[in-house]
Amino acid sequence: MDHLLVRAARGERTERPPVWLMRQAGRHIPEYRELRAEYSFLEAIKTPEVATEITLLPWEYYRPDGLVMFSDILTVLEPLGFSYHIESGVGPVVENPVSGPADVDRSHGNVTQDLDYVGELLRRLARRVGDETALIGFAGGPFTLASYAVAGEPSRTHMPLRRLRARHPDAFRTLLRAFADVTREYLQFQVDSGADVVQLFDTYAGALTPADYREFLLPLHREILADVDAPSIVFVRRMNGRLDLLAESGADVVGLDWTVDMARARDQLDTPVQGNLDPSYLYGDPAFVREQTREVIEKAGPAGHILNLGHGVDRDTPVESVRAFVETAKEYER
């Protein structure tokens, strides 16, 4: 039988909402922090044995309906010739960022070969828990990846990439295209390796004007998702007021951040949705978490809803709150 999460992604009515959390395998779990004292982030994601163990931590804690592979959206930087690492206190750093408009025409290496550690991770997970929970693969979207590639570090405003768009639109287009081509191949590779569902994280793309989003990015989202052979979810932050642009991506499911009112989103969209509890609510007490979670579930209604947060779990979130969140979904009765 199909996983609950897959059924909700197809828009079916489910006996309760399936639940998982973005960033569920990260720093809020004590054993994750212990493992990270032993391995650098890149060592952890490139060693399938370690990445498997980390992916399974939330399984042991919460038994969610989906397990998101422990990896990062930045893995595709390497096949395109960029080197990167995660710097403590800073975030992702690209050591050789795009040096100018002439430096965007990237031919890529063999994606499935370069990223075979991700394929191996999914194959291991499929063997371990593939029957019990849905495996979620993911990739970054072109805007979000290009923001790191151009700025070389996290940028709150994404000004370096937006400046490239203003001054050198052809270079901007070429760079987004390079990421789209890799991502398309990469997501299908994940499905072939065992992912039941895939999520496209173009987290920062809400920084574009609606016109630029439509012109430069939407056709690429459509291409990336068009023939991936599994249900897909698209997630972009700060899209409240233009959710139609997400629905037009062709994704099966539209991810909602916490600034979107769930009931209004349901009126505006025909697609299944995912979300959208405010991650900061997990700093409240368990009774508050349960009450607010039930409100999201009720506003979303019985068909085509995947319960999640409106963005990733914050690093100091109490395990008890995450447990209350997951249990609220698992105990919910229509």
Catalytic: 36?
Answer: yes
Q: Cα–Cα distance between 178 and 323 in angstroms, integer?
A: 40
Q: How far is the CB of 170 from ligand CP3 (least distance, A)?
A: 26
Nearest residue to 132 via CA among 319, 1, 14, 324: 1
Q: Cα–Cα distance between 146 and 230 in angstroms, integer?
A: 25
For ligand CP3, the closer CB: 72 or 196: 72
Q: How far is the CB of 21 from ligand CP3 (least distance, A)?
A: 7
For ligand CP3, the closer CB: 97 or 169: 97
- Give the active site residue among 36, 124, 162, 165: 36
Q: Which residues contact 219 (CB under 8 A, 6 or more apart)?
A: none
Q: Cα–Cα distance between 158 and 320 in angstroms, integer?
A: 35
Q: Cα–Cα distance between 88 and 45 in angstroms, integer?
A: 16
Task: Give the DSSP letter of residue 306.
Answer: E
For ligand CP3, the closer CB: 92 or 275: 92
Question: For 92, how many CA atoms within 13 A lie in the half-sphere containing its CB?
Answer: 24
Contact assessment for residue 24 and residue 65, using Cβ atoms and an 8 Å cutoff? no
Q: Cα–Cα distance between 294 and 100 in angstroms, integer?
A: 49
- Give the active site residue among 32, 62, 84, 148: 148
Q: How far is the CB of 253 from ligand CP3 (least distance, A)?
A: 15
Catalytic: 252?
Answer: no
Q: Which residue of the chain is nearest ligand CP3 when measured via CB?
A: 26
Catalytic: 27?
Answer: yes
Residues of this chain that bind ligand CP3 (CB under 6 A):
22-27, 36, 41, 68, 70-74, 86, 91-92, 138, 144, 201, 203, 312
φ, ψ dihedrals at 100, nearest 5°? 170, 180
For ligand CP3, the closer CB: 9 or 74: 74
For ligand CP3, the closer CB: 25 or 111: 25
- Give the active site residue among 16, 62, 72, 252: 72
Q: How far is the CB of 181 from ligand CP3 (least distance, A)?
A: 20
Q: How far is the CB of 188 from ligand CP3 (least distance, A)?
A: 18
Return the active site residues.
23, 27, 36, 72, 148
